[in-house]
Amino acid sequence: MQFDYALIDWSRAQFALTAMYHWIFVPITLGITFIIAIMETIYVKTGNPEWKRITKYWMTLFGINFALGVATGIILEFEFGTNWSNYSWFVGDIFGAPLAIEGIMAFFLESTFIALMFFGWNKLSKRAHLFSTWITAIGTNLSALWILVANGWMQSPVGMGFNPNTARNEMVNFWDVFLSPVAVSKFLHTISSSYTLAALFVIGISAWYLLQKREISLARKSMVVAAVFGLITSLYTAVTGDASAKQVADKQPMKLAAMEGLYQGKEKAGLVAFGVLAPQSNTQKEQFIRDFYMKIEIPNALSLLTYNNPNAFVPGVKDLVEGNKEKGLVSVSDKMVMGKTAIKALADYRNALKAKDSLKAADAKKTLDANFKYFGYGYIENVHQTIPNVALTFYSFHIMIILGFWFIIFFSVILIMIYNNKILHSKLWLRLSIIGIPLAFLASEAGWIVAEVGRQPWVIQDLMPAMAAVSKISTGTVQITFWLFAIVFTALLIAEISIMTKQIKLGPKDGGQ
């Protein structure tokens, strides 16, 4: 098989560009809607018009962000058809289902009630408007649920069966797809981290007002709600991150090895708290070995966190590529043989059907079923293609982890300072609060880099690599659209920052009407 690797790389780059820009807008939307709903609930309970004013202010910032998030999200879904048509054909019957549900149920729910939330203040009762706000928050998160179910399925395909007559995967059990442990972990970890980002966003803007000695009441009240919300969600993010890491260890051990820079598997594996990877050797003999310039390691912690056993064996890159019979690990070379056998068996089956040779078709089907588990390896040309970018995955993972723990400390300190009435007098922590906004986005984007770069080359784990999923279009076309998208998305981002900054400087409207 001949692959155009320039086309593959540009198609991946275009999708990554779209996804990363889209994710700038999404986490604020997921989290700030619940913060707004909490603020409005306080208003309805207390009747204090100041809380209505606060709610409407943050609702304005949410509206600016929501509009741009929708635009990038639509383009992202279209790219499955334009750049990844082979993927869409191979698994469209499964992957399309959660996306369709997201559009039919979640998006329509969200778009209906968002109108009531923005324009229903003087037309609905307090409780009816509050209901609309909560439904909007739930709707935005339901959208995320179905998209993350689809992504989780790509990371660990379940609830499916392969139909050799159509050469497509078909859904066998919807609930296996929906309740996949990988999908559940991914959803909970992603939304909880988004809630943390939204809390940091609210605290950062509130801190700016306090530094400017403006809107003191709004800023303090907003900080209290956001800090409590952020502390709870950041702690929960750590819990869901642990659950997600266990799923990665089970379903995607190569990703785990990249996350920890673990080249040689070991028992009693330590967790790298901080490390600097040394350059990788170019010699064939040492391709699977890489050292650290320096590292701070917690003994036995990786074995304990991933397998609940401090003495457990954690496979490294070398074990996963070359195999380890003692630990029951099949080598990539053997998987490639089985994958090519599966691809040939599929061709033999379809040819036998055309020739109406039922006996030969049955034999080919049996061979296909026996080797289908590693179908995607049949497209791999070199064992090194199954190794993701270890350095990028490793550093992204550790940036995410370090910042995650910092956010827990940060929220705790902010709450203590608010309780002791010291927050107004601490320029250091107010400035750190503002810096927390870009740090939150850095951690969020780093998490997605770990999730997506760490599973390369797989579009569908073990079943379809990127080279088999890409559309047969010209590389030049993808290059042109890449740069067009880069210009448009950058312009949208600049527009959002400009509009958002202008709105923040203007501040909330006077009164709660």
Verify cis geometry, omega within 30 degrees of 0, for the bond prior to 457: yes
Say how far apart CA 255 and CA 268 lie, in whole Å.
19
Q: What is the pTM of this model?
A: 0.92
Q: Check whether 290 has a pLDDT greater than 90.
A: no
Q: For 210-257, what is each residue's pLDDT tens digit?
A: 999 999 999 999 999 999 999 999 999 999 999 999 999 999 999 999
Say how far apart CA 359 and CA 323 lie, in whole Å.
35
CB atoms under 10 Å from CB of 302, counted, come to 25
- Any idea where the domains of the chain sit in the sequence? 5-252+392-506, 259-387
98, burial (CB in 10 Å: exposed 0-12, middle 13-18, buried 19+): buried
Q: Mean pLDDT across the chain, nearest whole number?
A: 91
Q: Check whether 6 has a pLDDT greater than 90.
A: yes
What DSSP letter does each residue of 443-483 carry, written as one string? HHHHHHHHHHHTTTTEEETTTEEHHHHS-S--HHHHHHHHH
Do 370 and 162 contact (CB within 8 A), yes or no?
no
Q: For 48-70, what is each residue's pLDDT tens digit?
A: 999 999 999 999 999 888 877 77
pLDDT level of residue 467 (50, 70, 90 thresholds): very high
Three-class SS state of 243: helix
Q: Check whether 512 has a pLDDT greater than 50.
A: no
Of how many residues is the chain composed? 513
Amino acid identity, position 257: A
Q: Give mean pLDDT, residues 486-502.
A: 91
